[in-house]
Amino acid sequence: MKIVTALLITVLSAALISFTSSSELEIGATMPKGDVKMMDVSGKSYSLNDLKMDNGLLVIFSCNTCPWVIKWNDRYNPVAEVAKKNKIGMVLVNSNENYRDRGDGMDDMQKFAEKSKYTMKYVLDKNHIVADAFGAAKTPHVFLFDKNGKLVYRGAIDDNAGDKNAVTKPWLKNALNAIGSGQEVSAKTSKSIGCTIKRTR
Amino acid sequence: MRLIWVLCVSLLLSCGSDTSEKSKSQSFSTTVNMGPFKMLKADQYTGVMEQFKGQKAVVLNLWATWCQPCVKEFPYLVSLRNQYQDDVEVVFISFDFPEAKTDAEAFLKKQGVTWDTYMRTGNDQEFFKVLPESFSGALPYTAFIAKDGTLVKEITGAHTKEQFEVYFRQLAERVTP
């Protein structure tokens, strides 16, 4: 009977673990889905490869409806400046397919981009294909690739969503400056609270 | 040996099947009773979780009033906690912004949460050090922890009552080796 019980526990544990969702892209991984074209708020379509610059590409999964995006939104344009200075492209990706009729449709994205005076591309990831390939879990969720298209930083913008003047760890800016000057990123991952990406499945 | 395989397959199939037949229908409570709503610092988290070790399995749910999927699934967890409370405790930790404490409290009251519940206070980075390592920061997050303290399942995003009940039942029936 003990053997039966042990077997059942093993099988059940395996079954439970098998339901675990896909994980985030690992540091050092190659940028996936680089050729997928996504519609920008300007009406033009771009792939990640189109937007990559000499020293890499910054991808932030974002949206219009998450309070954490709203809190960090005042840092998007300053981050874009740092990225540009370091010859790194930047794109915001909206993968909230299940909220297209609840504030995350293209019309809403256009209004939000205009209101926020975004200086970077803001594209719609149809059917969250890119988010799935990245293992992106939330908004905002940052993925930074170097000039070879390898992931060098993943996580949060900084350690204080509510107050940009109280930031003590500007992780993303540090990572942008590091790869812009050919140095290794010291803090390669970080975490923050955020909203789940609203997938349709 | 054949019996073992039949048992294993039956149990596995039951994981993915509709369990609503076995679910007790419980209407959404609107009682005004409410348990203590405590502010929780990161260094107090382990103590809260440890109190149940060896006594009950724990379902940890991280939520916030700003999080629509959290709000949607919340009553399912309350209902299942009331159904399985002899074997399973639900620990709710609110990750609301400090200014929304009153909203969170009103929500808990409306939901009929009659046991201790928590709101995190302090730096989120300190919480990432004590929460399960694979927690990405996306809410809602639910972890299923066996009576012996083993983390057996983590899920992110909204789930149905039937999906939750599979794990509640497995926690309640789990045999400690």
Interface probe with B: pick from A157, A193, A197, A198, most Cβ of B within 10 Å: A193
Are residues B136 and A138, on separate chains, in Cβ contact within 8 Å?
yes
Please report which confidence band the pLDDT of residue A18 belongs to, taking 50, 70 and 90 as the band edges: very low
Query: In angstroms, what CA-CA distances link A68 with A103, B39, B67?
Result: 15, 21, 10
Q: How far apart are alpha carbons B138 and A61 in whole angstroms?
A: 12
Per-residue pLDDT reduced to its tens digit, A81-118: 999 999 999 999 999 999 999 999 999 999 999 999 99
Select the residue of A11, A12, A20 nearest B154 (Cβ to Cβ). Answer: A20
How far does B129 lie from chain A, in Å, by closest CA? 10
- As a whole number of angstroms, the longest Cα–Cα distance in chain B is 59
What is the per-residue pLDDT across B7-25, written as a single tens digit (0 to 9) for each?
433 333 333 332 222 233 3
Return the pLDDT at B166: 96
Instruction: With residue A60 as reference, give the H or E element that holds it.
Output: strand A57-62
> In this predicted structure, what is the pLDDT of residue B6?
39
Q: How crowded is residue A34: how many other Cβ atoms within 10 Å of its Cβ? A: 17
Per-residue pLDDT of A38-77, as tens digits, reads 999 999 999 999 999 999 999 999 999 999 999 999 999 9
Low-confidence ranges of chain B (pLDDT < 70): 1-33, 175-177
* pLDDT-above-70 percentage for chain A: 89
Residues 6+ apart with CB under 8 A from A115: none
Interface membership of B125 toward A (CB under 8 Å): yes
Task: Note the pLDDT of residue B158.
Answer: 87
In whole angstroms, give the CA distance from residue A100 to residue A106.
Answer: 8
8 Å CB contact between B84 and B172? yes
Q: What is the pLDDT of residue B34?
A: 73
Nearest to B157 by CA among A128, A103, A122, A33: A128
Helix (H, G, I), strand (E, B) or coil at B49: helix
Inspect the interface and report whether the beta carbons of B137 and A138 lie closer than 8 Å: yes
Q: Do residues A98 and A180 make contact, with C-beta atoms less than 8 angstroms apart? A: no
Separation in Å, CA of B37 to nearest CA in chain A: 21
Residue in B with minimal Cα distance to A196: B138
Q: Report the 10 Å Cβ neighbour count for B130.
A: 13
The predicted pLDDT at position A66 comes to 96
The pLDDT value recorded for residue A91 is 98
Structure confidence by residue, pLDDT tens digits, A124-158: 999 999 999 999 999 999 999 999 999 999 999 99
Q: What is the C-alpha separation between A174 and A141, in angstroms, rounded? A: 16
pLDDT tens digit sequence for A173-192: 999 999 999 999 999 999 99
On whether the CB atoms of residues B155 and A195 are closer than 8 A, the answer is no
Predicted local distance difference test score (pLDDT) of residue B35 = 79
Residue B7: count of CB within 10 angstroms of its CB: 14
